Amino acid sequence: MSAEDGANTAQPFDIRRLRYFLAVARELHFGRAADRLGIAQPPLSRMIAQLERDLDVQLFDRSRSQIGLTQAGELLKTRASYITEEIERAVRDVRLVGKGGSGVLRVSFVGSATHGPFPTLIKRFRCAFPEVDLRLSAMNNAESHEQLITRAIDVAVVRPSLDDATLRQQLFVEEPLVAALHENAAKELGGSIRLAALKDQPFVLFPRKPRPCFADMVLGLCSEAGFQPPHIVWAPDYQTAISLVAVGEGISIVPACCEAAHRPGVSFCHLSDAQARTRLSICARTDNQSPQVFKFLDFARSFARSLASGQAAA
């Protein structure tokens, strides 16, 4: 016996032989099974006979006018049905993951992104790709940068961007900055002011570290306006900053989306300075070729265009 014959005897099954067997087992007629498979009947009959020889069992009872399954054939039909269904399911799943339609996608985001259009983006992405396991984590820019570099996450939504040439970055949304003030101070200043009007106010900035951070951008804008804050109170995040504003610790500069926080005792004034703007960017490693990442970036790009054209309702 040749090595090939020995291999065939040891491993009598392959997916094609199982499918041919199942066709005959379900039709109980070689002619109809051959038509169903799109092949001629003689080679199908020879293949089934060879399968029976390889297994050294009789799978079909041919003693009657209509063939039937033996007990061994019934068992093989049950097992073969399960095997072929699992293989077909595996093929579908692998293709879906390979095209980014399922699998895992790990996304970080800065806390202020929970206001504005980012939650709507996530909701729509999940509706469009329900098989993707989208895992979200709130992180500051430094944490997101580190996690991207170490491949612990796939995508980061940061403000305003990350200074790293190894990352691909795309603008998600641009928005104005506003001044968060205690409601009594807001009544005196009005609804729209220039940043320089706040030069004598203590500033509540966030975060203290790591640096550079959003606070450094605010300090840069103050410098362009011709002043530096006379006193700085540091907060770990924008929520704490707004809470400190509410109790009269100072004023804070925050993205306009944070107006949705509706903190009692806090009012917001728009800044008329042209440069008083910020943005959210979406970042991923340039060497991350995951189809899930490309799906998310493409989806976010399309969503951002609809936002810019005023077509993306929540």
Domain CATH code at residue 44: 1.10.10.10
Write the single-letter amino acid at 209.
K
The C-alpha atoms of residue 136 and residue 156 are separated, in whole angstroms, by 10
Residue 84 has a CB neighbour count (10 Å cut-off) of: 15
Query: What six digits make up the tokens of 98?
Result: 């390979």
pLDDT of residue 13: 74
For residue 180, list its beta bridge partners. Answer: 252, 268
Asked whether the predicted pLDDT for residue 129 surpasses 70, the reply is yes
Q: Are residues 296 and 262 in the same domain?
A: no
pLDDT of residue 2: 42
3-state secondary structure of 171: strand
pLDDT of residue 99: 67
CA angle centred on 41, ends 35 and 42, rounded to 5°: 165
Domain boundary at 32, 52, 86, which?
86
pLDDT of residue 9: 45
Query: What six digits make up the tokens of 11?
Result: 């491993």
Q: Are residues 286 and 298 in the same domain?
A: yes
Q: CATH number, domain at 221?
A: 3.40.190.10
The C-alpha atoms of residue 293 and residue 107 are separated, in whole angstroms, by 10
Asked whether the predicted pLDDT for residue 234 surpasses 70, the reply is yes
pLDDT of residue 210: 78
Number of structural domains the chain divides into? 3
pLDDT in tens, 177-223: 999 998 877 667 767 899 999 999 999 999 888 777 889 999 999 99
pLDDT of residue 147: 96
Which range of residues forms the domain containing residue 290?
Answer: 99-172+279-309
Q: Are residues 126 and 185 in the same domain?
A: no
10 burial via Cβ count (<10 Å: 0-12, 13-18, 19+): exposed
Query: What six digits make up the tokens of 28?
Result: 């109980």
Using the structure block, give the residue that is written with the tokens 């989806």: 299
Q: Are residues 111 and 147 in the same domain?
A: yes
Q: Are residues 68 and 79 in the same domain?
A: yes
Q: What is the pTM of this model?
A: 0.70
pLDDT in tens, 263-294: 898 999 999 999 999 999 999 999 998 999 99
Task: With respect to residue 92, please indicate whether it lies within any of the assigned structural domains.
Answer: no
pLDDT of residue 312: 60
Asked whether the predicted pLDDT for residue 313 surpasses 70, the reply is no
pLDDT in tens, 76-108: 999 988 888 888 877 777 777 776 767 899 999
Q: Terminus-to-terminus CA distance in the chain, angstroms? A: 71
H or E element in which residue 229 lies: none
pLDDT of residue 192: 83
pLDDT of residue 281: 96
Asked whether the predicted pLDDT for residue 157 surpasses 50, the reply is yes
Residues with Cβ within 8 Å of residue 226, at least 6 apart in sequence = 196, 199
pLDDT in tens, 14-62: 888 889 999 999 999 999 999 999 999 999 999 999 998 999 999 999 8
Task: With respect to residue 179, please indicate whether it lies within any of the assigned structural domains.
Answer: yes
Q: Are residues 184 and 267 in the same domain?
A: yes
Banded pLDDT at 145 (limits 50, 70, 90): very high
Task: With respect to residue 129, please indicate whether it lies within any of the assigned structural domains.
Answer: yes
Domain boundary at 86, 115, 140, which?
86
pLDDT of residue 8: 44
Peptide bond into 229 cis (omega under 30): no
- Exposure b/e, 148-180, CB count within 10 A at least 16 = b: beeeebbbbbbbbbbeeeebebeebbebebbbb
